[in-house]
Amino acid sequence: MRRLPLILSMICVIVLSACVVPARAQTSTTPTLLAEIDVGDSQNDKYPNVTVSGQTVFIGGGVNNTDAYVWSFNEQATDIGPGSSIGKALSSVAKPDYSTVAVATAPDGTIYAVWSSFYDRTLSIRHRDSSGAWGARHLIGSASGVDFFFSKVAVNSLGQVFVIWGTDKNIPLSLVVSNDEGVSWSSKYTTSVGIYNQSTSIAAGPNGQIAIGFTTDSLAPAIAIWTGSGLTTELLGSAKSGAQPGVSIGPDGKIYAAWRGFLPDGTATGAFYAERQGANNWTTPDHLFDGDVKNTFNVVVDSTGSVHLGWNVVIDIPRFFYSLRQAGQPDFSKAIPANKGPIYNSHFALSSGGSLVHVALENFSGTLPFITYARFSGATASSPPPTAAPKIENDAQSIKTPTSVSVSFTDVTNSPTEIRWRWGSAPTDTEYDSVGTAGWQTFSPTTTLTVAVPSTVSSTTTCLPVRLYTQVRTATKVAGLVQFDDVILDSKVTAAVRITNPHLRQVNLSPGSGARDGNPTYTRDPLVYVEAYGVNECSGLKELTFASSTPITVSNNFYAGMIPFPGTFATGSNTVTVSLTDKVGNSENYTQTLIYDTTPPVLDVASPGTVSATANLSDTVLASLQFSNITVTDTGGYPGRGFWGVWLANSRTPVTNPTTDTSLVWTPVAAPGTDKSFTISNWSLATGIPTAQRTAGDYTIYARFLDGAGNPTSGVISTTLNLSTITEPKVNLPFVRR
Amino acid sequence: MKRSKNRPLIVSLLVGTLVVAGVGLALIQTSQGAAQSQGALVKYPDYPPTPTIGPNPTLPPQLAGASAILAQSDFADASALRNWEFVDQSFVIAGAEGQWAVKDGRLAQNYAGLTHDLSTQEVAAITGDPAWHDYTVQVSFYDEFNGTAGVMAHYTGSDPTTASYYRIRALTSTFSATPKLVLERVDQGVARALVEINGPGFTSRIWHTLGLTVHGGSLQATLDGQVVAEATDSAPLSAGRAGIYTRASGGILFDDFVVTTP
């Protein structure tokens, strides 16, 4: 009995201890409403949808039963400009409810927009890249008599695009997947249960995860989870217990859901919240609050694990409220309302690590619903996502194709400690080019990385830029948005080069005397004509070097000019080399053999051969010149008959010394064939003859012979042709009937 | 000795009582985050309490002298719904139909669909005989947050999206949209305003009466017994049923529906 006081004391301690339960820590994060802006041109919009890429907010919505619109603006915007139509969203029943627009952001920041057009029963998608350009519209589905209601889109960490929609009450929800940015689509996947056809939710997470919130046809809140090859459905409650769950996937892959509840008789029971612990294993739902909650509940878990809730509830009028459970804290904040209303539907997205909450509100004030944008302060950004903008080779536009590139970083924020990268696509946990677990390796803001260029990238032969995607994360595994830099890889000089006889007729710069034509591989002067221009040259031509002389700058990817041969240009055959260098340092040599020949050919005095002329019957001013047995010797080495062509001149009167007579105008004409006898057709007797002298009568044609370099014979042969009439060629234009 | 005999029993009772009390307190204090029976995990800011819905207004004097009552309903119980046809006035998908119910002796618009979604869908409750003509239709309404109330007369057509009728519809003063009152004729589902009034709109959370009298081509609309709009239709709709108009947003009650002839 002496122990009785002790026993009683101990019992009292136990009882008192039971009474003293540790008070839950109160949250220190209090959200506030920062802005409310009516979207002016959002007339007649239902179910607005919002996403964020970096610091830019994108709202999608149908407008006036005609167009799918997207509005974009900065996360701190104080006003919102006009939206842009991205396609037709027509409603045959003049209701916007069934021609809605959904938006989502891919890991690389690309925005996807999906919209249905009730009138023509189509479901379409477009995506907007980082440059702001919207790509082509791709049709996801089109079928007469088949409807696409309440479509939603999400892009998982693998870059796969998921689009869902409802078709009718009691029919399963439909899902299709695209692995090529919406160009092509998988066959349709469906939920294992029918749905109650109303607005749904979809969320993407790490490791390719996708989760979908919907209401079953028995009025139970449910989550469908993508397995990689289909959907598995998990119920959050019993039949007739709730609807329209919002769903989100945390950075660790955990799935979160929140939904509105009701009793079997329809009496509203407020909202509930649960977290998935495993397959078909959810925490006991937390009853968030009572009240008449309406339409889809929103839940978003940010990269730090903070849980954001947004919902519509009737308190005096239908209002939107936002609440937050900061990561690491046990309680949700007090609900903060948007001021404007009544609000019928809402959807929100986060930016700046969850510190800003962007809400698209469906506002109704008597006639047509429109969008009001609301911005709340959200989670305390104790661990906002880091950034580090990559710059390949100091942000060069193009570089000589390397085996690796140096990558430095600008705009480094929020202390990233790890980095991963991938060429051509955003790095994911399963696909990356960096080294480390899931591609993550140590990162230092001041270090210049050396990133290997795989052969699949370096082998590109186009001048299109290749893209390196990088992603950094903090020591607490808070990953930033995928960022990228582009560079053009230039592996070689690609140019068209012409090294030729400077006296060719096509060369406008032909110097000196002698025939202005000849064989391209000869020259009678110690210089050459060089023409070079870049053809599919990625970086552009920079310099041209001729025979090791001083480099010549190439402007605008083109050069043309006469270049004296430096030093001694030996008579006879010479190999000429032109070296081209592009702007990234690639170089290429182009060679050509040129014969330097200054010795004129010699027309045999004894048997030079003959020339005769015959006028054309219809155009008498044109003559056919027949050369026979022309005998020429060329010590310069022109092969065969010893001459390349004929140097012709006309005269109305015979001249005494054709080789020195300055009244003659000599014109080079290539001699056809290789034979000593040949015919030159359509020689104009008017060539070199003043117009006033082009009359009937005698025309004397003188001929000298040219070697490949354009050196003429001193010997001349001639012939005279008498024309009784002069007729010139005419061009008959087609008669146009009036 | 007698006391010492009872002491173990007393001690046992005392110990048992303390243990039970301790365990009970412990159970009450724990598991605050999970149990649905606990208080809300998310607290709302303070809002003024929802006003109590007051009594219905008395019947306006002009109806007191009516010669005949064609129809009347005070929605005393759910059986009153049997006399009504509830329609959606534009296309809705299956499951999104407007819902109606009798609550506390009043006809309540009860949102859309079995999940009671907020909807801007236009809906109506129709009653009566297609042969009715030249009558006054009147109803009392109490708007909580719906914001749209109306009555219809000479309603003809089986498809509500292509029906024809006269309608007076009113908006709450809290809506920014105008006009606040529209007397209109709807032909084959297409409305044409006869009178538009950019007035202040009705005040929510008090009872109002809204009436529409059709006599030949003469139309007269009343709000709270006051004539608010009059119009003449040169080619009037000759006859039809009467009805109540609103949106599937819930938050509105109707009562004391009556159709009378002069």
pLDDT tens column, A163-218: 999 999 899 999 999 999 999 999 999 999 999 999 999 999 999 999 999 999 99
With tokens 């909650």, the residue in question is A293
* Closest listed residue to residue A472, CA positions, set A418, A525, A512: A418
Residues 6-65 of B with CB under 8 A from A: 7, 11, 14-15, 18-19, 21-23, 25-26, 29-30, 32-34, 36, 38, 40-45, 47-48, 50
Give me the pLDDT at residue B60, please.
Answer: 57
Q: Which residue has better confidence, B11 or A659?
A: A659
Distance CA A529, CA A534 (A): 17
**A544 belongs to a structural domain:** yes
Q: Which of B3, B5, B11, B41 to mutate to test the interface with A (most CBs of A within 10 A)?
A: B41
Residue A66 tokens read as 């005609």
How far apart, in Å, are the Cα atoms of A422 and each of A159, A425, A427, A564, A718? 13, 6, 5, 51, 77
Residue B64 C-alpha, separation from nearest chain A C-alpha, in angstroms: 33
Q: Could you tell me which chain B residue has the CA closest to the CA of A220?
A: B115
**B18 belongs to a structural domain:** no
| Residue A390: strand pairing partners | A409
Taking contacts as CB-CB distances below 8 angstroms, the residues of chain A near B25 are: 15, 18-19
**B56 belongs to a structural domain:** no
A147 — contact with chain B (CB < 8 Å)?
yes
Residues A152, A300 within the same domain: yes
Sign of CA dihedral B170, B174, B175, B178: positive
Percent of chain A with pLDDT over 90: 69
Per-residue pLDDT, averaged over A613-623, amounts to: 89
Say if the Cβ atoms of A344 and B120 lie within 8 Å.
yes
**B55 belongs to a structural domain:** no
Of A284, A289, A318, the CB nearest to B34: A284
Per-residue pLDDT, averaged over A138-154, amounts to: 91
Q: Which residue has better confidence, A333 or B9?
A: A333
Ranges assigned E (strand) in A156-284: 161-166, 172-178, 189-194, 201-204, 210-215, 221-226, 231-235, 242-249, 255-262, 268-278, 281-282
Q: Measure the CA angle with vertex A512, ends A510 and A513; round to 5°.
A: 110
Distance CA A276, CA A260 (A): 17
A336 — contact with chain B (CB < 8 Å)?
yes
Residues 189-228 of B with CB under 8 A from A: none
How many other β-carbons are positioned within 10 Å of the β-carbon of residue A689? Answer: 18
Say if the Cβ atoms of A286 and B94 lie within 8 Å.
no
Residue A175 C-alpha, separation from nearest chain B C-alpha, in angstroms: 20
Is residue A648 within 8 Å of residue A627, measured between CB atoms?
no
- Specify the pairing of strand A522-523 against strand A587-596: parallel
Residue A692 tokens read as 């006033």
| Residue A224: strand pairing partners | A212, A233
Say if the Cβ atoms of B38 and A287 lie within 8 Å.
yes
For chain A, give the mean pLDDT: 89
Is residue B137 within 8 Å of residue B215, measured between CB atoms?
no
- Which segment of A418-422, A486-490, A600-604, A729-733 scores lowest on mean pLDDT? A729-733
Give me the pLDDT at residue B7, please.
Answer: 56
Q: Which of B9, B14, B110, B118 to mutate to test the interface with A (most CBs of A within 10 A)?
A: B118
Per-residue pLDDT, averaged over A265-283, amounts to: 95
Q: Of A542, A567, A596, which residue is a domain's last?
A: A596
* Closest listed residue to residue A356, CA positions, set A336, A320, A333, A380: A380
Residue A244 C-alpha, separation from nearest chain B C-alpha, in angstroms: 9
CATH number at residue A474: 2.60.40
Distance CA A303, CA A352 (A): 10
Say if the Cβ atoms of A11 and B18 lie within 8 Å.
yes
Is residue A34 very low, low, confident or very high in pLDDT (cuts 50, 70, 90)?
Answer: very high
Residues A365, A476 within the same domain: no
Per-residue pLDDT, averaged over A249-275, amounts to: 95
Say if the Cβ atoms of A286 and B34 lie within 8 Å.
yes
Distance CA A706, CA A639 (A): 12
Residues A285, A426 within the same domain: no
Distance CA A70, CA A126 (A): 11
Residue B252 C-alpha, separation from nearest chain A C-alpha, in angstroms: 11
Is residue A583 very low, low, confident or very high in pLDDT (cuts 50, 70, 90)?
Answer: very high
Residues 194-233 of A with CB under 8 A from B: 196-198, 215, 219
Give me the phi and psi of B32, to 5 degrees please. Answer: -70, -30
Residue B222 tokens read as 């009343």
Taking contacts as CB-CB distances below 8 angstroms, the residues of chain A near B34 are: 283-284, 286
- For residue A460, pLDDT beyond 90: no
Total domains in chain B come to 1
A251 φψ region: left (φ > 0), alpha (ψ -120 to 50), beta (else) = alpha
Residues A410, A551 within the same domain: no
B114 — contact with chain A (CB < 8 Å)?
yes
Say if the Cβ atoms of A330 and B40 lie within 8 Å.
no
Distance CA B50, CA B237 (A): 42
Q: Could you tell me which chain B residue has the CA closest to the CA of A344?
A: B118
A244 — contact with chain B (CB < 8 Å)?
yes
Residues A170, A49 within the same domain: yes
Residues A317, A449 within the same domain: no
Give me the phi and psi of B133, to 5 degrees please. Answer: -155, 160
CATH number at residue B112: 2.60.120.560
Say if the Cβ atoms of A289 and B44 lie within 8 Å.
yes
Buried b (16+ CB within 10 A) or exposed e, A333-355: bebbbbebbbbbbbbbbbbbbbb
Counted across chains A and B, CB pairs separated by less than 8 A come out at 162
Residue B257 C-alpha, separation from nearest chain A C-alpha, in angstroms: 24
Q: Could you tell me which chain A residue has the CA closest to the CA of B176?
A: A365
**B1 belongs to a structural domain:** no
Taking contacts as CB-CB distances below 8 angstroms, the residues of chain A near B147 are: 342, 366
A282 φψ region: left (φ > 0), alpha (ψ -120 to 50), beta (else) = beta
Residue A304 tokens read as 């730090």
SS3 of residue A44 by DSSP: coil
Q: Please tell me whether the overall predicted TM-score, pTM, comes out greater than 0.95 for this model.
A: no
**B134 belongs to a structural domain:** yes
Size of chain A, expressed as the number of residues it contains: 738
Say if the Cβ atoms of B43 and A334 lie within 8 Å.
yes
Give me the phi and psi of A691, to 5 degrees please. Answer: -60, -40
A606 — contact with chain B (CB < 8 Å)?
no
Domain of residue A535 covers: 495-596
Say if the Cβ atoms of A198 and B25 lie within 8 Å.
no
Of B33, B42, B94, the CB nearest to A197: B94
**B233 belongs to a structural domain:** yes
**pLDDT < 50 regions, chain B:** 1-5, 19-38
- For residue A22, pLDDT beyond 50: no
Say if the Cβ atoms of B95 and A4 lie within 8 Å.
no
A367 — contact with chain B (CB < 8 Å)?
yes
Residue A176 C-alpha, separation from nearest chain B C-alpha, in angstroms: 22
Of B42, B114, B250, the CB nearest to A332: B42
Say if the Cβ atoms of A365 and B176 lie within 8 Å.
yes
* Closest listed residue to residue A318, CA positions, set A346, A298, A299: A346
C-alpha A121 chain-centroid distance: 30
**B14 belongs to a structural domain:** no
pLDDT digits (tens, 9 = 90+) for A670-715: 999 999 999 999 999 999 999 999 999 999 999 999 999 999 999 9
Q: Could you tell me which chain A residue has the CA closest to the CA of B43?
A: A334
Domain of residue B66 covers: 61-261
Give me the pLDDT at residue A226, please.
Answer: 97
Give me the pLDDT at residue A232, please.
Answer: 98
A13 — contact with chain B (CB < 8 Å)?
no
Q: Of A596, A621, A643, which residue is a domain's last?
A: A596
Distance CA A350, CA A373 (A): 13
| Residue A134: strand pairing partners | A128
Residues A685, A539 within the same domain: no
Total domains in chain A come to 4
Dmax over CA atoms of chain A, in Å, equals 162
Written in H, E and C, the secondary structure of A128-142 is: ECCCCCECCCEEEEE
Give me the pLDDT at residue B164, please.
Answer: 97
Give me the pLDDT at residue B64, please.
Answer: 56
**A22 belongs to a structural domain:** no
Is residue A730 very low, low, confident or very high in pLDDT (cuts 50, 70, 90)?
Answer: confident
Taking contacts as CB-CB distances below 8 angstroms, the residues of chain A near B38 are: 287
Taking contacts as CB-CB distances below 8 angstroms, the residues of chain A near B169 are: none
Residues 160-179 of B with CB under 8 A from A: 171-172, 174-178
Distance CA A163, CA A49 (A): 14
- Which segment of A107-121, A242-256, A506-520, A665-679 scores lowest on mean pLDDT? A506-520
Q: Could you tell me which chain A residue has the CA closest to the CA of B45?
A: A335
ipTM: 0.84
Distance CA A256, CA A297 (A): 12
A109 φψ region: left (φ > 0), alpha (ψ -120 to 50), beta (else) = left
Instruction: Kindly compute the dihedral angle of the four CA atoms of residues A713, A717, A723, A727, in this order, to the nearest 10 degrees.
Output: -20
Residue A112 C-alpha, separation from nearest chain B C-alpha, in angstroms: 27
How far apart, in Å, are the Cα atoms of B70 and each of B39, B81, B133, B241? 51, 17, 10, 11
Q: Which of B100, B120, B203 to mutate to test the interface with A (most CBs of A within 10 A)?
A: B120
Residue A676 tokens read as 């000593």
Q: Could you tell me which chain A residue has the CA closest to the CA of B8?
A: A1
How far apart, in Å, are the Cα atoms of B257 and each of B160, B181, B239? 21, 20, 19
Residue B176 tokens read as 């920014």
- Which segment of A468-477, A485-494, A563-572, B30-39 scores lowest on mean pLDDT? B30-39
Residues A407, A371 within the same domain: no
Of B14, B29, B114, the CB nearest to A219: B114
Per-residue pLDDT, averaged over A442-471, amounts to: 89
Is residue A66 very low, low, confident or very high in pLDDT (cuts 50, 70, 90)?
Answer: confident
Q: Of A549, A569, A596, which residue is a domain's last?
A: A596
Taking contacts as CB-CB distances below 8 angstroms, the residues of chain A near B145 are: 314, 316-318, 342
